[in-house]
Amino acid sequence: MQFSTIEGPVTVNVPDHGALKQAVGQRLAAKEGFALATLNLDHLVKLSSDGAFAQAYLAQDFVVADGNPIVWLSRLARRPVALLPGADLVVPLAEWCAAAGVPVALIGSTEEALAAASTALRGYVTGLEVAACVAPPMGFDPQSAAAETLLQEVAASGAGLAFLALGAPKQEALAARGRQLVPNVGFASIGAGLDFLAGTQKRAPRWVRRLALEWLWRALSNPARLALRYLRCIGILPRLLREALRQRSGI
């Protein structure tokens, strides 16, 4: 399904887990880079007004559905895709890298959290090599000279895939720049995925996620920070419903 942005349509172009495994596996085997983004309603709110973010998203090679509303809208449009949250992709991506003999890098959060995430990830995935852990300083700018240095360091480490846990829009912007500067490195923007592994952030229980209520669990956990975000997400639903119905009708 396509979603409109201020710079043009973004398409969820990887429909399910099997398709993602095949697409990533081909890139890893060929030693070719890629950028993977995980689309959700909060991103769509930003994409409707932030031109730089929209351009970064349009530079992504793979886009998956990181939220039940995206999945439901795709079904309404008769272009169904499966739910593939970024946090659920960290371990599978690491497994595919280990199987291909490709080291990974972890970028984001704090040095302590990345160290804990590295230990946890290597515990889940036998044979995984974590070639680099980088915690950028506060105020990190993906367009800065420091970002270019970081990307070159990741490439020099031998990492073939970098997990980006910087939050939107920084992680997608860094991935887009990485595709230009270090084209042999893959980038996966996974939000809080590394913090969940490290235990520095707590994810909603599995039963809450099965009921598609993770958003409510998060809102109740931090209403001061997330209430306005979710109101903005609700605000764009009428437009998204119209877009889905137009695509359903083939307009």
In order, the DSSP letters of 40-70 are: -HHHHHHHTT-HHHHHHHHT-SEEEE-SHHH
The token pair at 3 is 């979603």
Q: How far apart are CA 47 and CA 69, in angstroms?
A: 16
According to DSSP, the residues that pair with 90 across neighbouring strands are: none
Residue 251 has pLDDT above 70, yes or no: no
70: Cα within 13 Å, side-chain hemisphere = 29
Peptide bond connecting 169 to the previous residue in cis, omega within 30 degrees of 0: yes
Q: How far apart are CA 81 and CA 114, in angstroms?
A: 31
Q: Mean of the per-residue pLDDT values for the chain?
A: 95
Angle, nearest 10°, between helix axes 223-248 and 214-221? 150
**pLDDT tens by residue, 73-131:** 999 999 999 999 999 999 999 999 999 999 999 999 899 999 999 999 999 999 999 99
**pLDDT tens by residue, 20-74:** 999 999 999 999 999 999 999 999 999 999 999 999 999 999 999 999 999 999 9
Q: Which of 190, 171, 188, 149 is nearest to 34 (CA)?
A: 188
**pLDDT tens by residue, 194-205:** 999 999 998 888
> At which residue do the structure tokens 């895939």 appear?
161
Q: How far apart are CA 128 and CA 142, in angstroms?
A: 27
- Please state whether the predicted TM-score (pTM) of the whole model is above 0.85: yes
Burial 31-48 (b: 16+ CB within 10 A, else e): eebbbbbbbbbbbbbbbb
Q: Which of 93, 45, 28 is nearest to 235 (CA)?
A: 45
Are 68 and 216 in contact by the 8 Å Cβ rule? The answer is: no
pLDDT of residue 219: 80
User: Which amino acid is residue 70, in one-letter code?
Assistant: I
pLDDT of residue 123: 97
For the chain, give the longest Cα–Cα distance.
Answer: 51
pLDDT of residue 222: 83
Residue 224 has pLDDT above 90, yes or no: no
Are 130 and 106 in contact by the 8 Å Cβ rule? The answer is: yes
According to DSSP, the residues that pair with 162 across neighbouring strands are: 105, 187
> At which residue do the structure tokens 């915690």 appear?
135
Burial of residue 26 (number of CB atoms within 10 Å: 0-12, 13-18, 19+):
exposed
Q: Which of 215, 160, 167 is nearest to 183 (CA)?
A: 160
**pLDDT tens by residue, 131-150:** 999 999 989 999 999 999 99
According to DSSP, the residues that pair with 34 across neighbouring strands are: 186
pLDDT of residue 148: 98
pLDDT of residue 60: 98
Q: How far apart are CA 177 and CA 201, in angstroms?
A: 28
